[in-house]
Amino acid sequence: MTKFDYQAVTATVIDELAALIGPDNVSASEADRNLRASDVSSHPAHPSDVVVWPQTAEQVAQLLSLANRKKIPVTPWGAGTSVEGNPIPILGGILLSTERMQAILQIHADDMQATVQPGLKYRALNQQLQPLGLFFPPDPGGDATIGGMLANNAAGPKTVKYGASKDNILRLQVALADGRLLQVGSRSLKQSSGYDLVHLFVGSEGTLGVITEATVKLAPTPKFMSAVVASFPNVDDAVKTVVTIRTGGLEPAALEFIDAATAKMLNQAGDVYLDERPTLFMEFHAAHQDILSIGLQAVRQICEINQAASFRATTDPEERVKLWYARHNAYTIAVKAHPNTQFLVLDAAVPISNYPAIVAQVQQSLAKYQLTGFLLGHAGDGNMHVLIPYRDAETFERGQRFNEALVLRAIELDGTATGEHGVGIGKIGYMRREHGPAFEVMRSLKQLLDPNNILNPGKIFAPEEQNMDR
């Protein structure tokens, strides 16, 4: 427990919240609290004391000002698609849901930008952008909200070409713990004025402020797309292909890796037909068909040089969807294949040149800890995911030891404890090791912006790290 003297959410506090945003936007019902007590991770659920649904930035600011005065924890909530416990209100208090802040405030089509509220889901945004020939590129898999994606710096398969959430944001409006509303950044693509506060809040998981509005970058919808699925005799050949493609100027839009065990599982449970070997899934985008064709020829040559056992490519939209079906639905298929089973969904990232080493670490650790594991890597940007099914506490504990070995090896290889899942609850223990003295600077920033530690307490910093001198 921290040294912070948090106050309880009393009936009086609930009445004050209702006066600020309306009684229909406040609920202390068990059903509403339990529905938002956990994300999709294996971390234990913990309900808040009350759920609030502000609808404007001003209401968010007023709620935070009230909570700060009364020293009540506030946990922001988007869609609950996080996988490290990032939005779980572990100290109770107020759960601040952005579910009723879903407006597209303005589309700046000529500038390829959109200004949105944080509760808007990225798939809904892309549906509205489709007629304009534009899209918001980050694609984390789950139907996440824009605010949640920015708070966790979510990414996904297309990061290799379009970047993560942090690379697709220009301007933010943020409510601070004391109720101040800040606008940081600009709609100008080039910005060189003052400190880069936009990227201070991106990835901060709601511990420094609550995002209330975002102006994001958009990209033109590609006119031509191709898909490639290639299998290899061994992991080394597959990973060597990844490095060659990335350094060869071919600019894949997605470059994914699965191991042989994952290919076998997908075949058995997903009604797909993959070679049960290490496999790469690739996607390429281009404005002209000829450019796409030339690129596919080069990719085929690289795969053949690296001893590809099979190679399938298509520019047909329906065939492309079929080829990518197994990778896009790998998690869902894995869950289907393991009924009455929970999953550890693990995440680390390394420089691409060290990708073979992190794959080797995964394989060795799976054998050492006698675990079943499925490798699903965003190989194009060095990100490794491992799915570990478990049904009992003993297997879960071995999975935790596996996770520690994975993370420590990633840090040793000049990588990071988390490529796109964020710190949340699960990666707190590795922050100091990864960041060294910079971790103390982070702690100082937290104390400066949130001296009462009301914003998503227990995330990024362990409870003992939050025992700041007061």
Output b/e per residue, 420-437; b: 16+ Cβ within 10 A.
Answer: bbbbbbbbbebbbebeee
Section 55-73 average pLDDT: 98
Indicate if 109 and 193 belong to the same structural domain: yes
CA separation for the pair 317, 424 (Å, rounded)? 37
Residues 56, 149, single domain; the answer is no
Q: How confident is the model at residue 466 (pLDDT cuts 50, 70, 90)?
A: low
For residue 190, the tally of other CB atoms under 10 A from its CB is 6
Q: Are residues 236 and 317 in the same domain?
A: yes
- Total tally of structural domains belonging to the chain: 4
- The amino acid at residue 187 is R
Measured CA distances, 42 to 48, 89, 91, 341, 383 (Å): 18, 15, 18, 11, 20
**pLDDT tens readout for residues 414-425:** 999 999 999 999
CATH at 421 = 3.30.70.2740
Query: Is there a domain that residue 233 lies in?
Result: yes
Q: Are residues 348 and 387 in the same domain?
A: yes
Written in H, E and C, the secondary structure of 97-126 is: ECCCCCCEEEEEHHHCEEEECCCCEHHHHH
Q: Does 4 fall in a domain? A: no
Phi first, then psi, for residue 153 (nearest 5°) are 50, 55
According to the model, what pLDDT value does residue 175 have?
98
Asked if the structure places residue 436 within a domain, the reply is no
Confidence of residue 465 (pLDDT cuts 50, 70, 90): low
One-letter amino acid for residue 192 of the chain: S
Check whether 468 has a pLDDT greater than 50.
Answer: no
- 452 with 418, same domain: the answer is no
* Residue 267 binned pLDDT confidence (cut-offs 50, 70, 90): very high
Q: How many contiguous H segments (helices) and E segments (strands) does the chain have? A: 16, 18
Any idea which residue has 């798939």 for tokens?
123
CATH number, position 271: 3.30.70.2190
Give the separation between CA 104 and CA 118, rounded to whole angstroms: 9
- Tell me if residue 198 falls in helix, strand or coil: helix
Please give the share of the chain, as a percent, with pLDDT higher than 90: 87
CATH code at position 159 = 3.30.465.10
Within this chain, do residues 451 and 402 fall inside the same structural domain, yes or no?
no
Q: 209 is written with which tokens?
A: 């402020």
Model pLDDT, residue 3: 64
Range(s) of the domain holding residue 20: 11-99+443-466
Q: Give yes or no: residues 366 and 459 share one domain.
A: no
Q: Domain ends where: 274, 304, 328? A: 328
In-domain check, residue 435: no
Residues 202 and 228 in one domain: no
Identify the CATH number of the domain in which residue 22 sits.
3.30.43.10
Q: How many degrees, rounded to 5, is the angle at CA 451 between CA 447 and CA 453?
A: 95
Residue 333: inside a domain, yes or no?
A: no
Q: What is the pLDDT of residue 446?
A: 97
Looking at the fold, whether 94 and 108 belong to one and the same domain comes out as: no
Report yes or no: 59 and 66 within 8 Å, Cβ to Cβ.
no
pLDDT per residue as tens digits for the range 214-264: 999 999 999 999 999 999 999 899 989 998 998 888 899 999 999 999 999
Encoded tokens for 283: 């996607």
pLDDT at 201: 98
Alpha helices in 313-468 (DSSP H): 317-328, 330-337, 355-368, 393-412, 431-435, 438-449
> Among all chains, which residue has been given the structure tokens 């609920």?
27
Residue 26 inside a domain? The answer is yes
Q: How far apart are CA 61 and CA 255, in angstroms?
A: 41
Is residue 161 a part of any domain in this protein? yes
Domain co-membership, 109 together with 216 = yes
* Ranges of H-type helices in 108-259: 122-129, 146-152, 159-162, 198-201, 235-247
Residues 291 and 315: their CA atoms lie apart, in Å, by: 12
- Residue 1's pLDDT band (cuts 50, 70, 90): very low
Q: What pairs with residue 214 in β-bridges? A: 116, 172
Is there a domain that residue 432 lies in?
Answer: no
The mean of the pLDDT values for the chain is 94
Residue 200 to residue 57: CA distance in whole angstroms: 19
As given in the structure block, the two tokens for residue 145 are 């909200």
Q: Given 305, 328, 351, which residue is the final one in a domain?
A: 328
Inform me whether the pLDDT recorded for 181 exceeds 60. Answer: yes
Note whether 453 and 4 are within 8 A (CB). yes
**For residues 197 and 283, what is the distance between their CA atoms, to the nearest angstrom?**
34
Question: Do 108 and 207 belong together in one domain?
Answer: yes
**Residue recorded with tokens 């491992």:** 386
Q: Domain check: are 169 and 200 in the same one?
A: yes
| Of 262, 293, 328, the domain-final residue | 328
pTM: 0.94
Measured between alpha carbons, how far apart are the two ends of the chain, in Å? 15
382: left (phi over 0), alpha (psi -120 to 50) or beta: left
Among residues 92, 109, 120, which one has the least CA distance to residue 36? 92
